Amino acid sequence: MSQMLNKEEMRGQEERMKWWTDAKFGMFIHWGLYAIPGKGEWHMYGAKIPVKEYERLADEFEPQAFDAKTWVAIAKRAGMKYIVITAKHHDGFAMYDSKTEPFNMVQATPYRRDPLQELAQVCREEDIKLCFYYSHVIDWHHPHSVHNAANNTWDYNMGEKHFPTYWNELVKPQIQELLTKYGDIGLIWFDTAGGLSYEDSIDMMNHVRRLQPNCLMNSRVSHYKGLGDYQSKGDNETPMYGEDTRPWETPMTLNETWGFSPRDQRWKTTGSLIRKLVNIVSKGGNLLLNVGPSPQGIIPEESVQRLEQIGDWLRRNADAIYGATASPFPYEMDWGAITMKENQLFLHIDNERWPKSALRINGILSKVKRAYWLADRKQQPLSCQQSCADSQDEQHTGAGLQIRLPKAPFDQTVTVVVLEMEGRVEVDPQIMVLPSGVLTVDIKTGEITENDWNDSNDSGNSSEQKPEANRSKLSPAVSRTAAWSIMIPEQGTYEVQITSFKRHDADFQEAFGEGVQLRLADQVLRSIPAEDSEISDSPACQHPYSEMISILGEIHIHTPGVYPMDLMSTLIKGRNPTFTEIWQADKVKLRSVRLVKKPD
């Protein structure tokens, strides 16, 4: 269903995308009438508020404290390069001077000003890309809006709805207003396209291209896979390594809601936010971090404080984020994350996982010219030793690098080490257990195939690690296998774990009801995973999910070498669905396999 591009079109798309792929960090702003009740942007739908009653909120909306210069200054101090603001959310209220629909900021409120026009002017002056969020399918105010799930059925009869009226008389005219009245727009951030036809999806993309050829569109322009310029992940979702084949972005909240909610005081810490930003950029993505201004037009102080602290860290470590690309290693580092440029590797060491005395990395093939703290203006060299992969001792680990570290981190939250190479960065792509004896590989980095459980039930030395009552049902119907080739450099006993994201309302063992099976070194582990432990403040997981570790059992490695490993589960998904994944539909998402070497 995706559009195939020729080489010239691909080059044009890369040029159009460059500002965005370099930016890495943007501000999301959810602001509308829903700020007045302060119960989130879905309040009209959740409370089934009649249209006429909801319209009366506009009589109260007079945000005299709104100041475009203040908002843009907050974004700049945070190190954000673009702003995406809700021009129209699901409630149908236009936050600008719309001539198409009088239910808007200028005509329906006593404020009588167009905040988007004021933002556009300041963004141009401050070199910030202005972008608009637009809810093109869900609109609870309009009688003819039709979504596949979230419709206004308390005011309107579904059988009387006529979607083309909504599409042609409201949506397309308002998109034209947004792309002709406010200058160059960086992107239109569409949302929740469930039920939109493929033909209407293409119609909207062509409509935007005709109006502003360089304006980007996110994948939520359609629920058909592959449309739009980049992949918009689910709300608060950080993908796995290898999950996305095109540029992507994670929209994330600072607390747990999007619109203004004074009752929601569950704020992420600055350290957590920095680690999440690093994790996202190390996997090749952008972070779009949301604020929810008050009805008066004030961005909450709790948000401002955290954004300024992120900005302080970014000013010291800008080179490791802006314009950087994903880690060249297809697996996680147990001490942090990696980003890179042509001849530089940036090692983001999580201060909470600070290595003792030395940081060791295997697989760097380029010769390291020098190493230093990125936040050190003097660039004092760090002591490091690099071994050659040709030596007999390195035959099972590849080239090794050891960097001597002080007892205390150099920077706050995440300390970045710069490795400058004599040429371009080259690494060994072989997946290998880290020098610490730990390896975490994400499911989507494996080769994924559909399999029949029964094909492998009798192969290898099977080891059941759970009580009889919890043994896998081993259903052949919808299971898939993810397979890897793993370098294990040391003999010994390895505990095998899997990590999963569990939604707050999930029954974990029910989700894993068909069990999992792992094969490694001619040994087989089968079980129904349990919630053995939780990773607190995960760099990749947030509300409404928690990251869980499940212990599958132990594998014994008698000889160092390269071994095939595969994991079979009904929770492993294929790579080519017709529709984009709805993240919140998965109560449990299987994420990765972990090997942890046990002490001798």
Question: Which pLDDT band holds residue 13 (cuts at 50, 70, 90)?
Answer: confident
Q: Which positions ≥6 away from 592 have C-beta within 8 Å?
A: 240, 332, 440, 441, 442, 443, 498, 499
CATH number at residue 174: 3.20.20.80
Beta bridge partners of 418: 346, 372
424 and 442 assigned to the same domain: no
- Mean residue pLDDT of the chain comes to 92
Residue 3 is predicted with a pLDDT of 53
Provide mean pLDDT across the span 261-284: 97
Residue 469 is predicted with a pLDDT of 35
pLDDT at 397 over 60: no
- Give me the helix-helix angle, 68-77 and 301-317, nearest 10°: 40
467 and 578 assigned to the same domain: yes
Q: Which positions ≥6 away from 354 have C-beta within 8 Å?
A: 335, 405, 408, 409, 415
CATH number at residue 481: 2.60.120
215 and 73 assigned to the same domain: yes
Question: Which pLDDT band holds residue 387 (cuts at 50, 70, 90)?
Answer: confident
Which has more confidence, 470 or 520?
520
Percent of the chain topping pLDDT 70: 92
Q: How many angstroms separate the first and last alpha carbons of the chain?
A: 53
Residue 30 is predicted with a pLDDT of 98
Percent of the chain topping pLDDT 90: 86
Residue 447 is predicted with a pLDDT of 96
CB neighbours of residue 544 within 10 Å: 14
pLDDT at 394 over 80: no
Q: What is the Cα Rg of the chain in Å?
A: 26
Number of domains into which the chain is organized: 3
Q: Which domain range does residue 537 map to?
A: 438-597
Could you say which of 429, 459, 482 is where a domain stops? 429
Which range among 188-192, 391-395, 516-520, 552-556 shows the weakest confidence by mean pLDDT? 391-395
Whether 304 is in a domain gets the answer no
Provide mean pLDDT across the span 155-168: 98
> Rounded to whole angstroms, how far apart are CA atoms 509 and 531?
8
* Model confidence pLDDT, tens digit, residues 416-472: 999 999 999 999 999 999 999 999 999 999 999 987 545 544 444 444 444 333 434
Could you say which of 229, 256, 285 is where a domain stops? 229
Provide mean pLDDT across the span 127-153: 98
* Model confidence pLDDT, tens digit, residues 226-260: 999 999 999 999 999 989 889 999 999 999 999 99
Residue 466 is predicted with a pLDDT of 42
> Rounded to whole angstroms, how far apart are CA atoms 94 and 536?
40
Which range among 1-15, 45-59, 519-533 shows the weakest confidence by mean pLDDT? 1-15
49 and 139 assigned to the same domain: yes
386 and 491 assigned to the same domain: no
- Residue at 434: amino acid letter: L
442 and 425 assigned to the same domain: no
Residue 514 is predicted with a pLDDT of 83
* Model confidence pLDDT, tens digit, residues 296-351: 999 999 999 999 999 999 999 999 999 999 999 999 999 999 999 999 999 999 99
Provide mean pLDDT across the span 263-276: 97
Whether 485 is in a domain gets the answer yes
Whether 238 is in a domain gets the answer no
DSSP, residue by residue, 420-481: EESSS--B--SEE--TTSEEEEEGGGSEEEE--GGGTTTSSEEEE-S-GGG------SS-EE
590 and 494 assigned to the same domain: yes
504 and 402 assigned to the same domain: no
374 and 450 assigned to the same domain: no
Beta bridge partners of 289: 27, 252
> Rounded to whole angstroms, how far apart are CA atoms 400 and 386?
6
Which of 324, 252, 321, 323 has the alpha carbon at shortest distance from 288?
252
Structure letter (DSSP) for residue 269: P
Whether 323 is in a domain gets the answer no
Could you say which of 203, 229, 255 is where a domain stops? 229
Tokens of residue 324, six digits: 């950087």
Whether 305 is in a domain gets the answer no
Whether 81 is in a domain gets the answer yes
Provide mean pLDDT across the span 157-180: 98
Whether 293 is in a domain gets the answer no
pLDDT at 473 over 90: no
12 and 127 assigned to the same domain: yes
CB neighbours of residue 95 within 10 Å: 25
107 and 152 assigned to the same domain: yes
Whether 275 is in a domain gets the answer no
Provide mean pLDDT across the span 272-284: 98
564 and 582 assigned to the same domain: yes
